[in-house]
Homo-oligomer: A and B are copies of this chain.
Amino acid sequence: MRYSIDHTSAVPLHVQAENLLRQLIAEEQYQNGKNIPNEVDLAEMLGISRTTLRIAINKLVFEGLLIRKKRAGTKVAPGAVSSKSNNWLSFSQEMQLRGIPIRNFELHVSWELPDKNLASFFNISLDTPLLKMQRLRGRPEEPFVLFISYFHPRVGVTPDDDFKRPLYELLEQEHGTIAALSKEEISAIGATELIATKLSVQEGSPILFRKRYVYDQAERPIEYNIGYYKADSFVYTVESTR
């Protein structure tokens, strides 16, 4: 067995088991509908009791990552993209494009003073400058999305950062800030003049509008991000289990 449990560790056995199961879930063989080992065997393999193992499995079932069926066994839920590290973006329900090759262009980074809403969200004064990043995504002849991001000064991003890298990777690796919680609001609006120009559409035409509030593990605000998506170009997908 590649996976094993450390009985001398301070980490509870059921937590260790949970982590191992998350690794299992990420394995290709189990993504394809194959049952994970049965409880009795797995408990024995890991050297823990079935009761303890079940605590771990229960949690993942609650999370919707595993599906149990009497006699049939336990398997990974279809669409459970687990993988603890990648979780965030797929879980954060990133917009999905219809197979069109996209890239970023027209990247603008600058310092800007917050308005009242921003200052309130970031809990800073109105004279504290924030880093603002604005970019268009799509193809130059056919832009799809306009993104605008603001970062809390605490994060420490500057115009010198390489914003061509995946954003949450940049925050994590260069600034040690881990995005742990996000709240999003999605609505439809008519394109304003500015947006119409940027996205090359008619004023008033339908736009999918998304706000995203991002927090770190301590629930401190780290980013405010808004996106304007050209209608019909993007679909937002959400999957939820009871």
Contacts and interface: CB of A to CB of B under 8 A. Distances in A.
Given A78-B219, A205-B206, A236 B187 contact: yes
Interface string A70-90: 000000001100000001100
Contacts of A180: 241-242
Nearest to A218: B69
Please state the number of chain copies in the assembly. Answer: 2
Interface string A165-198: 0000000000000111111111111100000000
Contact of A204 (B62, B188, B205, B236): B205
A117 interface: no
B238 A93 contact: yes
A63 to B, nearest CB: 8
Given A59-B62, A62-B62, A181-B64, A240 B188 contact: no
B208 A207 contact: no
A232 interface: yes
A91 B188 contact: no
A58 interface: yes
Contacts of A229: 188
Given A91-B242, A92-B240, A231 B188 contact: yes
24 contacts: A55-B58, A67-B219, A79-B183, A178-B242, A181-B239, A182-B239, A183-B239, A184-B238, A184-B239, A185-B235, A186-B186, A186-B235, A187-B231, A187-B232, A187-B234, A187-B236, A188-B207, A188-B232, A189-B206, A189-B231, A190-B206, A204-B205, A205-B206, A238-B238
Interface of A: 55, 58-59, 62, 64, 67, 69, 78-79, 87-88, 91-93, 178-190, 204-209, 217-219, 229, 231-232, 234-242
